[in-house]
Amino acid sequence: MNPLDTPLGFSCDFLFVPGTRPERFIKALDSGAHGVILDLEDAVAEEDKETARNAIRTAWPQFSAEQKKRLVIRTNSPGTKFYSADLILAQELQVACLLIPKSESVDQINGAAQVLPNTAIIPMIETAIGLDRLREISTANQVLRLALGNLDLQADLGMICDPQETELQTARYQIVLASRLAQIAPPIDGVTPSTDDLPRITDDAERAKRMGFGAKLCIHPKQVAIVQTAFMPTEEEIRWAQRVIEADHASKGCAVKLDGRMIDRPVVLLAQRTLALAGKH
């Protein structure tokens, strides 16, 4: 099984759920979120890590095969005393996708891939070291796409950002560029801390799409529909995506030009994601 053959590569929203709140797992899946992240890191206190793992383990048989394809487990960061147990849980459950926070090296990602050969990996970039090593991290084994940990990155860099996070524009550009060069799915933008400032959530999601991100992290179900609307393809984008897929099929997967633009794997992936979001693929 190819670990990168997962619908999470086309998802435009990922909703966090604390691993200690199993009563919310199904609710999150029923919220309409494309991806649901069962969180073992920031949302779980140190003394509750094992409780969270057990809650996920107990709930796992309740999920259907289709639901499991939408589930992601966020581990604790590599190097912490909790990380190994998180990987063991992911291996036991054969999770489709793993989100690794504070990813800082290719060895960390390849090490997880060795333990989980059938699992897609999303490295989360939220430190200066991770940002500096984007190129190698993005090309590590089984990397599906990158994610931005915007709040932690601000803290690590000592930034005090304005509400628009103008100071992080360069970092966002670097992550989009690294994803394109690595020919992986468009990256996932960070969270909007406010759950009540709907215009802020809308603006953040629209900015993410304009910058080349393919998805956004959500911390509350009310953010999901807003993010999906912002990322929903226009009719023009849908027509372009259909033409890209047709050209790709005609070339039998070889690189081909369409309207003077080179159509290669990342462009085809983007077209597939566009049609999937539009319900036409």
pLDDT of res. 5 = 86
More confident residue, 253 or 171: 171
**What is the H or E stretch that residue 244 is in?**
helix 235-250
- Domain 7-232, CATH homologous superfamily name and number: Phosphoenolpyruvate-binding domains (3.20.20.60)
pLDDT at 255 over 90: no
pLDDT of res. 264 = 81
Rounded CA Rg of the chain: 18
Q: Are 266 and 225 in contact (CB under 8 A)?
A: no
pLDDT of res. 273 = 79
Q: How confident is the model at residue 188 (pLDDT cuts 50, 70, 90)?
A: very high
The candidate with the shortest Cα–Cα distance to 63, out of 99, 22, 34, 31, is 22
Label the pairing between strands 147-148 and 120-125: parallel
Neighbours of 88 (CB within 10 A): 12
Mean pLDDT to the nearest integer, 159-181: 96
Q: pLDDT for 33-64, tens place per residue?
A: 999 999 999 999 999 999 999 999 999 999 99
Q: Are 15 and 43 in contact (CB under 8 A)?
A: no
Amino acid, single-letter form, for residue 214: G
Neighbours of 48 (CB within 10 A): 15
Q: What percent of the chain has pLDDT over 90?
A: 81
Distance CA 112, CA 90 (A): 10
Q: pLDDT for 142-166, tens place per residue?
A: 999 999 999 999 999 999 999 999 9
pLDDT of res. 152 = 97
pLDDT at 132 over 60: yes
pLDDT at 280 over 80: no
Distance CA 146, CA 125 (A): 7
pLDDT at 183 over 60: yes
Q: pLDDT for 61-119, tens place per residue?
A: 999 999 999 999 999 999 999 999 999 999 999 999 999 999 999 999 999 999 999 99
Distance CA 173, CA 184 (A): 15
pLDDT at 198 over 70: yes
Q: What percent of the chain has pLDDT over 70?
A: 99
pLDDT at 213 over 60: yes
Q: For the chain, how long is the longest CA-to-CA vector? A: 57
More confident residue, 246 or 25: 25
Q: How confident is the model at residue 232 (pLDDT cuts 50, 70, 90)?
A: confident
The answer to whether the pTM exceeds 0.95 is: no
Q: How confident is the model at residue 256 (pLDDT cuts 50, 70, 90)?
A: confident
Which residues does 206 contact at the CB level (< 8 Å), separation at least 6? Answer: 230
Mean pLDDT to the nearest integer, 20-32: 97
- Hey, where are the domains in the chain? 7-232, 236-277
pLDDT at 281 over 60: no
